[in-house]
Chain A
C-alpha cells in the first residue's frame, strides 16, 4: 500500500487512519453501545471479587494454588468467553453498526480509500478492546492473588509472577488482533455476524478434542502456546506437539493480516442499501 508513495500521501493516510480510529474508540468506549462491552469486562472481575470475599480460610494459606487457578480461569473463561465476546461485539459493529445506525454513507462519502478506512476501523477496534481487556486482565490477576494476603502479593510481584502477567497480557493483545480481524470480516459479510461468531466459538471450544491438523485452524491453539502455566485440557483432549512461541506469533499475525486484507477487499465492494439490512 505504501510503494511509490509521496510523503504527503502517506501523511494523509496516517491522518485518515487516526481520524477513523479515534472515532471508533470514542464509539466503543463512550457511547450507549459500549454498555454490553463493559458488562462483559466486568464479569470476570465480579467473579474474582466474589471469590476473594468468600474464599474459605483454608485456601487462603496456599498462594501457589492461585497461579494454576488463574491459568485455568484465564483459558477456560476469560479468553474463551470474555475476550472472545468483547472482540465480537466491538469488531462486528465496526461496519455493521454504522449500517444499522444508517450512518455508514457519511464515512463512504469521504475521500478515503476503502483499505485505509478498513485499517483505521481495525486499529480503532484493537485499541478499544486492548484498553478494556488489558486492565481487566491485570485486575483479575490481582484479585486472584489478593485473598492470599502478603504472601500472595509477594508471589504476584515476584519476577515469575510479573512475567506470567505480561505473558497473559500478550495473549490478550494477540487475541484482540486475531479475533478482531475475523469479526470485522464477519461484520462485512453477514447481516447477523453473531451466528458465525457462535459457530466459531464452538470450533474454538472443541479445539482440544480435534486432531493436530484441525487444531491449527483455530486461534486458541496458537494462543495457548504462550501459556506460562500449563492447564489440564481434560480426559478427552487429544494432545498435539505444542507450537513454538515464534511460530504461534507469526501464525496469529499472518492470519490477522490476511483477514484484514480480505476485509479491505469486501469494503471496496461495499454498497449502501439500508433497506436490505
Chain B
C-alpha cells in the first residue's frame, strides 16, 4: 500500500521489563518534523523502530507503506543517521560511502558520482580519502550525514544530527535538511536543543517517558494548551493606551508593560484577542512595530507540557 505518511499504530517497545515506548500512535506528514524529548525519553527508540533496527513488542509501523522488517524495500527510500559514533575499522570517508552504495546495487561509476556528491554536500571533499578514525567529531558527524542521504532517500531520519558541529557546520546542515524537506520529503530530526528544532521544524513530536505528549504544528499544539494563557508581545508607540484598552477584554488575564517598552499580554482566547486587537489599533490610532506570539515556541510548549524547567534551551 503506497502512502506518503509514516504511521505508528499502537506501538510499544519493551526492553525486558523496561519500557522503551508505550502505545505510540502517530501519523507523520512530509516536511521537517522535530522529535523532542529529554535524554531517555524514547526518541532514539522511536527512530530505531521506524528503521527496523528494533522490532516493536506490539503494534505496527509503516513508512511510506513499507513495513520496517523489509529492509530491501525500506532503505531504498529511507536514510538514517544514528547517534552511534562508531564506524567500520579502517574505513576512509569515501570507501565508507562506496560500500553503502554498492549494497544499494549502484554501478561503480554511479556509486562514485553519488559518493563524491554526498561528501561535497557535507563539506568533506578534501578529507574523503582519509581514514574516519582520524576525523574530528564534527567530521564524523558529517560523514554519517553523507551516508544517510547519499542514495537520495525520500525519508531522512536524523538522531541528534547537529551534535559536534561548529556553528557554521550547523547552519550548513540545517540548510541541507530544510532543502530536503522543501522537496516534499520527510526529514525527522531528533534534538534536545529546543531552539534548533524551533528554527527548522514544520511540525513537532514531543515524547516523554516513552509516551507521545503532543504532535503537530507548534502553533496548533500551543493552541490546545488551554491551561497556560497565550502570551503575545506588542511593540508600538502608545503601549499605555493599548494596555488600558486591552485590559478591558474579558479573556485577557494580564497586560504587563515591560522595561524595554514592550507590552506583554496573556490571553485565554488568542483568536478573539487578535480580532479585538485590530479594532483597538484602529480606534487608538497607534503605530504598531510588531505583534508576535511570545510563547509559541517548542521551548515554551515543551515547558508547559512537560514542565521540567528547560531554561538553557536544551532538555
Contact = CB atoms under 8 A, between A and B. Distances in A.
Contacts of A33: 89
Interface string A71-115: 000000000000000000000000000100111011111111110
Contact of B103 (A16, A98, A276): A16
A209 B230 CA distance: 83
Interface stretch (B71-79, B268-276, B277-285): B71-79
Contacts of B48: 271-272
A111 B89 contact: no
A108 to B, nearest CB: 6
A111 B88 contact: no
Interface majority SS (helix, strand, loop, mixed), chain B? mixed
B43 to A, nearest CB: 15
A31 to B, nearest CB: 6
B266 interface: no
Interface string A195-214: 00000000000000000000
A273 B105 contact: no
B51 A271 contact: no
Interface residues on B, range: 20 to 34
Contacts of A98: 88
Contacts of B75: 109-112
Interface string B163-190: 0000000000000000000000000000
B71 A273 contact: no
A60 interface: no
B103 A101 contact: no
A112 B70 CA distance: 9
Contacts of B96: 106
Interface in A219-277: 268-269, 271-274, 276
B84 A111 contact: no
B52 interface: yes
A271 B71 CA distance: 13
A21 B48 CA distance: 26
A105 B71 contact: no
Interface residues of A, number: 32
A111 B74 contact: yes
A109 B80 contact: yes
B154 to A, nearest CB: 13
A20 interface: yes
Contact of A109 (B15, B51, B105): B51
A112 B55 CA distance: 17
Nearest to B15: A273
B72 A112 contact: yes
Interface of A: 12, 15-16, 19-20, 23, 27, 31-33, 98, 101-103, 105-114, 116, 268-269, 271-274, 276
**Interface pairs A-B: 5 shortest CB-CB:** A102-B86, A110-B103, A111-B75, A272-B53, A19-B102
18 contacts: A15-B102, A19-B103, A20-B103, A31-B90, A32-B89, A105-B53, A105-B82, A106-B88, A109-B51, A109-B53, A109-B71, A109-B100, A110-B103, A111-B71, A111-B73, A268-B69, A271-B54, A273-B15
